[in-house]
Amino acid sequence: MGTGSRIRLRDIPTRLATGAYILHSGITKLKAGPEQAAGLHGAAAGAFPALKRIAPERFVRSLAIAEIAVGSLLLVPFIPTAIAGAALTAFSSGLVGMYLRTPMLRKPGSVWPSQAGTAISKDSWMLAIGLGMLLGAADDDRR
């Protein structure tokens, strides 16, 4: 197995910070009430219309489980960085996609966030972290 199969010291800070954040977010969503579930579902379904077919409570529970899984992969030290990075990249790609597909989250004619989009625009950082992990693991394997 290549060096990308193990965790590198330089990845520990980003894995801890993003993993803890995502895990906490998922655990919090498990306790979401009907109003919060409807709000999260509505935002996601606005960007991805196929999600309208899923009940809001089921959607939020699935999202919570996905966040818990991704956060856990990042936090568990024996999970290779390439795997954790792939999970983070896939998860954050969906969030960035939602940001880009929701005009009210951005300033008109721009990719920059509106006031309403500031909170979700940070997901671009998670995407960058995931891609950095993947590129780092690939570079390590190449050597």
pLDDT given for residue 105 in this prediction: 94
Structural domain span for residue 89:
3-76+84-142
Cα(81)–Cα(72) distance, integer angstroms: 12
Query: Tens of pLDDT along 6-49?
Result: 778 888 999 999 999 999 999 999 999 999 999 999 999 999 99
Quote the tokens at residue 98: 């939602």
pLDDT given for residue 138 in this prediction: 86
Cβ partners under 8 Å of residue 79, min gap 6: 7, 73
Q: State yes or no: pLDDT of 142 exceeds 50.
A: yes
Q: State yes or no: pLDDT of 92 exceeds 90.
A: yes
Report yes or no: 70 and 101 within 8 Å, Cβ to Cβ. no
- Taking only Cα atoms into account, the Rg of the chain, rounded to an integer number of angstroms, comes to 16
Share of the chain above pLDDT 90, in %: 81
What is the torsion angle, in degrees rounded to the nearest 10, for the CA atoms of residue 92, residue 98, residue 100 and residue 101?
Answer: 160
> What confidence tier does 1 reach under pLDDT thresholds 50, 70, 90?
very low
CA proximity to 73, closest of 11, 123, 139, 121: 11
The count of residues in the chain is 143
Share of the chain above pLDDT 70, in %: 96
Quote the tokens at residue 63: 């999202």
Look at residue 6 and give its three-state secondary structure: coil
Quote the tokens at residue 68: 């818990």
Cα(9)–Cα(50) distance, integer angstroms: 40
Least confident of 30-34, 68-72, 137-141: 137-141
pLDDT given for residue 8 in this prediction: 83
pLDDT given for residue 76 in this prediction: 95
**Number of domains present in the structure of the chain:** 1
Return the number of other C-beta atoms located less than 10 Å from residue 111's C-beta: 11
The mean pLDDT value of the chain amounts to: 92
